Structure 1
């Protein structure tokens, strides 16, 4: 091979360094609807939905999960997505999920050719023979499942769920199992001979356990809605968990009991959550619907914090599909005193959601917005440290880069309407004194690195960075005086 000369790299060496992909911000517009329907088994636990049509296809239109999803997606504008999760409220059956069948594998002609099919399956540890299966007259895969279901008799059932065949034991609990389908022409066609998923039966679990399991499975969801009836004590226990977990979340509850309208009653759910000062719980009264809180979440979760003037207050908002409550002034005051929201009818033929508060007294938009801001600042500073191709030095200049990053995200909080200029009434720090006006709506202070302790320096810690922000708030009522002169 001919000598082409010396390599160019010996004089000009160029390396391409790709920075790591930055961490994504969390989405604060996704709810988790928790239900007990068998559509989602205890192994799968969680499904993501983008529209009500898919929910209806999976659950039907009578399931509690569907009814809550309708309220959630009916807001205008509405949230873009939600999860539906499984609560094992009662003991479940063991089941065997066949492999997902591709379009070609769902060709009914191949099944119709079976006129003497068979296979064996082990149900609850006992082998069951499925014999003399004639599929020559079936017209769809639901028909195939019906014939197999009949052959399984009292041992198990069989359904076609739209993508695969599922065999379910007719017992429940930890001894309930379906395993070991033998390989035959019929079981191969049904996708039961290989690549199956066996799900063992379970005993009933508490509401707290279900929420804890789903919190471990996904950090995506932000707002929890329970589609099943639950005891107040169980709700309170679960609400305590939501408040304490390190991943910021909120929970919404609808109360139908009229005891919440009685000022003398202090043990209703709204009163008990208020007494706990729970600012991660949202309660709404509705005499007709169990999904009123879902409608509120659907509207709130449409907020895009990356936009301009996009933040909202929940007060005055509409709840399509929720019947407004006709209240007396006394009843409205009782609900307000208990930090319980309501979609209320007014005498001018309008209805509004009021007051838009959490059980602990914070306004919903404060809770929602500050959770976004905490994550936004955290993610931005993480990405500064993580994606930098050189280190952030432990110097005043290095700390200034962190401060600049924080300020950029606080500026977005001003842009979206969460933060605004105003008078700072908190404690003084840095150059900020109580009573000063935050002209930008925020102030960020980092002390000089020279003031840092040796231990912190050796641990490579940043100096403590303090931030002051002024919330923009929202007008919920106004007094107007008209002076008349003749």
Structure 2
């Protein structure tokens, strides 16, 4: 019999552990009190409304109606999460507690919508979403005429006053209109090259444009709200794509993705390495891992080359050009204290990035010569 080659050359194969991802940021959560999902399950993921029907939904529930709008957008999101609000008399669970419970039960979803929410519900959910981890965005719609009238105390004024960065409010008389906006936001976030987008000037399939005066539209936009309405002879457009504090939704989303990707990338580097030496060469491994994640954001078109106009960051000076849209600037190993070395800490690492921004308003001057 032949002898084993192991006596001559022994080969050991070691397979490195799988790296984790930062998630897709393209699944929305719809929360309601229908008795289809048990409280013990809290959240279920569906590939479409047909999948929901197979799971016991009848098509008459408000969550199903919202999901229909959600999946009707172009591009359509890949999945939806449906969350259970235990609003039975025996429970007395508040809606914000339900959203928090859905987050605790499942981390796959990013944006969320609550069906048939009152102004008090909206304010409560906005408050619990603002500091939520993982980061979340709350989409809500209201048909309260006080909003378009700009009456004191309306929900959009309230959330603007609280400078909430994670609440996207839409004035609409179409039920569940914000579920349509959520569906577009999740469907458009493909992660592919040049896939970065804004919410401004988008079509919301299944939503009726609001017939509003110019004053009413300006009032809603002045409250940092959003509205789907008619422009010109044929345009039906969502304006303006902002959160309650005036930040554009795409900026919130892109920075959430960048943060998560950098965090996961650096963690994967630590987990997948037998050891990262506390040397400049070791530090370069972390820098490479962070740069790889920044490249994803640049590839999507979220960050881009530009001039740094903020305060200096280490060697980066005001007026310098970020040729790739980002830099990774670490402190020096040689400057670490002995306590920092004993604690095995890396020097501080700074990542200045230049957002690509977006053009949403244009002034054109036409000069005519006769």
TM-score (norm 2): 0.95
In structure 2, the partner of 1:311 is: 196
Q: CA offsets per residue over residues 108-146 of structure 1, 9 Å max, x none? A: xxxxxxxxxxxxxxxxxxxxxxxxxxxxxxxxxxxxxxx
Asked if the contact 2:29/2:82 (under 8 Å) is kept, the reply is: yes
Gaps of 5+ in 1: 92-172, 174-202
The one of 77, 80, 99 equivalent to 1:79 is 77
The one of 12, 15, 19 equivalent to 1:18 is 15
Tell me, yes or no, if structure 1 residue 404 matches structure 2 residue 315: no
Q: CA offsets per residue over residues 343-381 of structure 1, 9 Å max, x none? A: 111122111000000111110110111111111111111
Gaps of 5+ in 2: none
Aligned residues: 369
Asked if the contact 1:211/1:238 (under 8 Å) is kept, the reply is: yes
Tell me, yes or no, if structure 1 residue 338 matches structure 2 residue 223: yes
Asked if the contact 2:313/2:352 (under 8 Å) is kept, the reply is: no
- Partners in 1 of 2:185 and 2:15 — Cα distance? 38
Q: CA offsets per residue over residues 315-368 of structure 1, 9 Å max, x none? A: 111001100012211111111110110111112211100000011111011011
In structure 1, the partner of 2:105 is: 217
Asked if the contact 1:36/1:228 (under 8 Å) is kept, the reply is: no
Greater mean alpha carbon deviation, residues 457-466 or residues 41-50: 41-50
- Partners in 1 of 2:195 and 2:315 — Cα distance? 31
- Partners in 2 of 1:234 and 1:316 — Cα distance? 28
- Report the alpha carbon displacement of residue 438 of structure 1 after superposing the two structures with TM: 1.2
- Partners in 2 of 1:332 and 1:437 — Cα distance? 39
Tell me, yes or no, if structure 1 residue 281 matches structure 2 residue 279: no
The one of 329, 345, 353 equivalent to 2:238 is 353
- Partners in 1 of 2:18 and 2:81 — Cα distance? 26
Give 1 or 2 for the bigger CA radius of gyration: 1
Q: CA offsets per residue over residues 196-227 of structure 1, 9 Å max, x none? A: xxxxxxx2211122112211111111111101
SS at match of 2:247: coil
* Counterpart mapping for 1:46-85 below 5 A: 46-57=43-54, 58-85=56-83
* Counterpart mapping for 1:21-36 below 5 A: 21-36=18-33
- Report the alpha carbon displacement of residue 44 of structure 1 after superposing the two structures with TM: 2.3
- Partners in 2 of 1:447 and 1:88 — Cα distance? 50
Asked if the contact 2:112/2:182 (under 8 Å) is kept, the reply is: no
Tell me, yes or no, if structure 1 residue 250 matches structure 2 residue 137: yes
* Counterpart mapping for 1:52-201 below 5 A: 52-57=49-54, 58-91=56-89, 173=90
Greater mean alpha carbon deviation, residues 233-242 or residues 426-435: 233-242
In structure 2, the partner of 1:477 is: 361
In structure 2, the partner of 1:237 is: 124
- Partners in 2 of 1:56 and 1:354 — Cα distance? 33
The one of 300, 316, 337 equivalent to 1:416 is 300
SS at match of 1:345: strand
- Partners in 2 of 1:296 and 1:261 — Cα distance? 19
- Partners in 2 of 1:235 and 1:217 — Cα distance? 21
- What is the Cα-based RMSD across aligned positions, in Å? 1.6
- Report the alpha carbon displacement of residue 22 of structure 1 after superposing the two structures with TM: 1.1
- Report the alpha carbon displacement of residue 26 of structure 1 after superposing the two structures with TM: 1.1
SS at match of 1:382: helix
Tell me, yes or no, if structure 1 residue 227 matches structure 2 residue 115: yes
In structure 1, the partner of 2:187 is: 302
- Partners in 1 of 2:185 and 2:40 — Cα distance? 31
Stretches of 4+ aligned residues off by more than 4 angstroms: none
In structure 1, the partner of 2:96 is: 208
In structure 2, the partner of 1:262 is: 149
In structure 2, the partner of 1:378 is: 263
TM-score (norm 1): 0.73
In structure 1, the partner of 2:338 is: 454
Seen in structure 2, the aligned counterparts of structure 1 residues 56 and 228 have a Cα distance that, compared at 3 Å, is farther
Seen in structure 2, the aligned counterparts of structure 1 residues 463 and 280 have a Cα distance that, compared at 3 Å, is same
- Partners in 2 of 1:86 and 1:451 — Cα distance? 52
- Partners in 1 of 2:228 and 2:99 — Cα distance? 27
- Partners in 2 of 1:322 and 1:368 — Cα distance? 23
- Partners in 1 of 2:100 and 2:248 — Cα distance? 26
- Report the alpha carbon displacement of residue 61 of structure 1 after superposing the two structures with TM: 2.4
SS at match of 2:184: helix
- Partners in 1 of 2:287 and 2:108 — Cα distance? 28
Asked if the contact 1:270/1:339 (under 8 Å) is kept, the reply is: yes
- Partners in 2 of 1:241 and 1:455 — Cα distance? 38
- Partners in 2 of 1:401 and 1:306 — Cα distance? 25
